[in-house]
Structure 1
Amino acid sequence: MRRMLLAAALLAAAAVAPARAEEKVLRVSLNTELQVLDPIVTTINATRVFAYLVFDTLVGIDSKGAYRPQMLEGWEVSPDRLTWRFRLREGLEFSDGTPVTAADCVASIKRWARRESLGAQLLRAADSLQALDARSFELRLREPFAFVIEALGKPGHTIPVMMPARIAEAPADKAVTEIVGSGPFLFRREEWRPGDRALFHRNPRYRPRAEPADGLAGGKVVKLDRVELVSMPDQATRISALMAGELDFLEIVPFHFIDRLRRSRAITVANQRGVEQMVAILSINHLTPPFNDIRMRRALQAAIGQADVMASLGLPAGMAMEQCLTIYMCDGPLATEAGTEAYRGAGIARARALLQEAGYKGEPVVLLHSESSALLNPTGLVMADQMRQAGFNVDVRTSDYATAAVRRMSKAPVEQGGWNVMPIVWNGIDLVNPLANPAVANNCNEFNSGWHCDEQTTALLRELAVTADPAAQKALAEKLQAAFHRNVNYVLGGQFAAPAAYRSEVTGVVPFAFPVFWNIERR
């Protein structure tokens, strides 16, 4: 009987194998696991990747930083730049089969703006935002706002994705429970197995633009049947799976494997430049002692040495900078040295002296350490060691990134589950526009974990929002950076490349700061 059952099972497997073999599937391992499905309520990078699979945006940014119509057919602006009229492309549908309407867009923008600083500034300048007909909506401003299109095309965290109005009308402080988008892929929640894998099927209702794909802009043509995000926390296991063909794409290569993968003809290692690179950051809780005291933040600022933080990554030569003190990327158009005087003479000795001046009494400092992240594990350990050398009583709490990210939202005292500092990373693409740059843009935002708040920064952001002259914009960007360093919103850990790697039979990969999965083919 057992032999008969085995034979039947083998025959059944043989019958379905050809159909499965014909499917075009891309198996992907992200740097952190997908856990949160609403891109309005979190800044986790895995959720951003999810967002661009399932949702779409009105405006898309290309690889050169230009903003182009995406869901929009286009827009018109009045001569005084106070009235903006937008028109959707014809035939756009949500994954549930309902048409995308202007009312859906208005509701989605309003929900996003309740949570995101750039959106809040846009609507603060607005008299009204309303649908005109099924495909058109209008924004009327009380005063000029210089970054309307940049706001609607913001690629960074807290993304202005479009949802049906019935979903977008949900509170902005709670994740939506129903996932209905108009993006190139479908997500079926019933197939999702957290801790194992998430499946994304080609969306037959999606209507790509006619132009070639370029960054987040152009034609998002899906040439795969399915994308699978596979949970695989162990870094060495990811590399073995990629080499064996069990994975097709790694979001970030563990750095000590880069040279090995470059020598393999079966693997392509991406080449990151400019805004495709990343910045290591030490996020600070400004509400909870000891870093509610600016003197303690300045001691922390002096203690973190970028050269050692970057060395911990083990990157090949030329892939990391020993020091980068601008919040706009060292090779970016707004790069400046404004405010960097604070780093003169910085180091462990200076940090010790500042701690003594501040009257630090050895209170525990809780550092949230993300062991499963190829980026955050080494940088976190080095930052913790530097802090200890300076005299901080560091209490390292180790977990996976998703757990640490949830705890980072807590305002509780450390003895009640709170936190003080957490190593994170920023994508360079998020730092291009000062009004969207997380170093300063979330100033005084109650939803921004860390909760830094500086009156001078608030005034500068409001002035920048209405300034159209490029030279004046650059001068204000310099003042914003100076305010960042003075107030020590965060501590900069250094700029580096964190390349993806994929099987060489995978073609059509769109180069960008984070992975996107349209245009990809399998040879």
Structure 2
Amino acid sequence: SEDVVASLARWGKQSIYGKALFAQVAEWKALDKYTVEMKLKEKSAIVLISLAVPNNFGAIYPKEVAEKFAPEVKATEYIGTGPFKLAEWKPDQYIRMVRFDEYKSRNEAPNGYGGGKTAYLDEVRFQPVPEVATRVAQVETGELDFADDLNLDAYDRLKKSSNLRPIVSKPYYWLVAVLNKKEGLMTNQKLRQAWQAAIDIEPIMKNVAGGRAEFYRMDASLAMAEIVSWHTKLSGLPWNEHNKAKVQKLLQEAGYKKEPIRFMTTQEYKWMYDFALLTKQQLEDLGFNIDLQVVDWATLVKRRNNPKEYDAFTTGIGAFYDPTHAVFLTATWPGWTTDEDIQKLQGELARETDPKKRMALWEQQTKQFYEKVPVIRYGDLFGLRAIRNTTKGFNEKTERIRFYNVWVEK
């Protein structure tokens, strides 16, 4: 219990999800060796889902490790609780994980990211292969058992192989231009609305998806269709309007005088660069001046935390499992959504426990999103993975890759 208390206390100061949850926590302590107690300040709808999220999650470290690294410092001692343990890490070469024989699995059947987790494999080796074409070739030859984030134009080729199968990864991301609302041009709501009104989303998505309909979806819901509990079907939203007259009116009301809008992207993710380039063309056709800044991904991630460095940047929004976990609606994520009305509804969603009332609040927040325009929501893009036929037991339905319950037939 002391490991759990120390680990989640650190997580509550570090993670977006942890911060939201611990804002509601009055007391957090160990009662005995195997029992912890969390007392809340008020009713909460987000305790279990916040503890269950598969990314940015509340991992349990030994107490001495959790307390050794301050919340703002990245931990460099990797001792966790999973079915595999870190054996070796050679930067830019591989990360080698080996079975943790003392791991005790839950007794239930596997269920998404939960349930039973059996480590059939002796070893899992994660190998960074920067060139996409090389990744495709290596999974074809059997040098890799699994390959991720492949270019969509490899799909037909992979489908023809008798030794592997391609996986269309859903959910993957919805494409997003994140707008800097702390400083600079995009603090102007009218200018943000003009960007939203300008874009013609389907040709952008079609291009990014390599012309293949199976790799993109047109959808205005903030939660993807696969997240059934929170997927909305509201009509009349100002999404995908490409309305020239509305854009001109909003640009005039914004007082925009063709100042350059600094839009950061990267070629390390081809889909990011492609949608940024097409966005620049569409916006400039309607009177915007876009300064497209192409940098490596590490630079983009660093610069997006500095409000003086940019006006917009590209990324993708993955699956989130509760409305309070939509990072683009938080004040702490780059882009900084500090709007009081948005934060008020987020607070109400965190406190309301009735599912029907929560859905009504989420629909209200979706309409509010399209009025306030904290970010620009494009369409849904699906990913491409490939797996050898000899690799068995892999769960294709989870966004995050997991190799427990997986084995390889020789």
Q: What TM-score, normalized by structure 1, do the two folds share?
A: 0.72
User: What is the match of residue 44 of structure 1?
Assistant: none
Closer, same or farther in 2 for the Cα pair 1:391/1:290, shift >3 Å? same
Given that residues 338 and 479 in structure 1 are in contact (C-alpha distance below 8 angstroms), is that contact kept between their aligned partners in structure 2? no
Instruction: Give the superposition deviation at 1:492.
Output: 0.8
Taking the aligned partners of 2:230 and 2:386, their CA distance within structure 1 comes to 30
Given that residues 96 and 124 in structure 2 are in contact (C-alpha distance below 8 angstroms), is that contact kept between their aligned partners in structure 1? yes
| Aligned Cα root-mean-square deviation (Å) | 2.2
User: What is the match of residue 393 of structure 1?
Assistant: 289
Instruction: Give the superposition deviation at 1:133.
Output: 1.3
Alignment of 1:471 onto 2:356: yes
Instruction: Give the superposition deviation at 1:279.
Output: 1.2
Taking the aligned partners of 2:136 and 2:254, their CA distance within structure 1 comes to 46
Given that residues 252 and 374 in structure 1 are in contact (C-alpha distance below 8 angstroms), is that contact kept between their aligned partners in structure 2? no
Instruction: Give the superposition deviation at 1:271.
Output: 4.4
Taking the aligned partners of 2:220 and 2:322, their CA distance within structure 1 comes to 17
Alignment of 1:425 onto 2:321: no
Given that residues 215 and 382 in structure 2 are in contact (C-alpha distance below 8 angstroms), is that contact kept between their aligned partners in structure 1? yes
Instruction: Give the superposition deviation at 1:468.
Output: 1.8
Closer, same or farther in 2 for the Cα pair 1:117/1:369, shift >3 Å? closer
AA at the equivalent of 1:194: P
Q: What are the ranges of 5 or more consecutive residues in structure 1 without an aligned counterpart?
A: 1-101
Superposed CA offset, 1:310-362 (max 9, x none): 112215333322x3111022463333355853337434554344223312233
User: What is the match of residue 232 of structure 1?
Assistant: 129
User: What is the match of residue 88 of structure 1?
Assistant: none
Given that residues 130 and 139 in structure 1 are in contact (C-alpha distance below 8 angstroms), is that contact kept between their aligned partners in structure 2? yes
Q: Secondary structure at the match of 1:500?
A: strand
User: What is the match of residue 163 of structure 1?
Assistant: 61
Q: What are the ranges of 5 or more consecutive residues in structure 2 without an aligned counterpart?
A: none
Q: Secondary structure at the match of 1:166?
A: helix
AA at the equivalent of 1:438: V
Superposed CA offset, 1:339-387 (max 9, x none): 8533374345543442233122333322222212243232232223323
Taking the aligned partners of 1:303 and 1:136, their CA distance within structure 2 comes to 55
After the TM superposition, which of the residue ranges 331-340 and 391-400 deviates more from structure 2?
331-340
% identical equivalent positions? 27
Taking the aligned partners of 1:455 and 1:280, their CA distance within structure 2 comes to 25
Taking the aligned partners of 2:100 and 2:264, their CA distance within structure 1 comes to 38
Taking the aligned partners of 2:284 and 2:100, their CA distance within structure 1 comes to 51
Alignment of 1:504 onto 2:389: yes
Alignment of 1:204 onto 2:101: yes
Closer, same or farther in 2 for the Cα pair 1:459/1:472, shift >3 Å? same
User: What is the match of residue 143 of structure 1?
Assistant: 42
User: What is the match of residue 304 of structure 1?
Assistant: 199
Which structure would you say has the larger RCO, counting Cα contacts within 8 Å and 6 or more residues apart? 2
Q: Secondary structure at the match of 2:213?
A: coil
Closer, same or farther in 2 for the Cα pair 1:408/1:193, shift >3 Å? farther
Alignment of 1:514 onto 2:400: yes
User: What is the match of residue 367 of structure 2?
Assistant: 482
Given that residues 268 and 296 in structure 2 are in contact (C-alpha distance below 8 angstroms), is that contact kept between their aligned partners in structure 1? yes
User: What is the match of residue 30 of structure 2?
Assistant: 131
Q: What TM-score, normalized by structure 2, do the two folds share?
A: 0.91
Alignment of 1:247 onto 2:147: no
1:98-497 superposed matches below 5 A: 102-156=1-55, 158-169=56-67, 170-188=69-87, 191-273=88-170, 276-312=171-207, 313-314=209-210, 316-321=212-217, 323-330=218-225, 332-338=228-234, 341-343=237-239, 345-347=241-243, 350-411=246-307, 413=308, 418-428=309-319, 430=320, 432-440=321-329, 442=330, 444-445=331-332, 448-497=333-382
Closer, same or farther in 2 for the Cα pair 1:230/1:344, shift >3 Å? closer
Q: Secondary structure at the match of 1:257?
A: helix
Closer, same or farther in 2 for the Cα pair 1:259/1:473, shift >3 Å? same
Given that residues 339 and 483 in structure 1 are in contact (C-alpha distance below 8 angstroms), is that contact kept between their aligned partners in structure 2? no
Given that residues 366 and 394 in structure 1 are in contact (C-alpha distance below 8 angstroms), is that contact kept between their aligned partners in structure 2? yes
Closer, same or farther in 2 for the Cα pair 1:403/1:202, shift >3 Å? farther
Q: Secondary structure at the match of 2:377?
A: strand
Taking the aligned partners of 2:26 and 2:211, their CA distance within structure 1 comes to 50
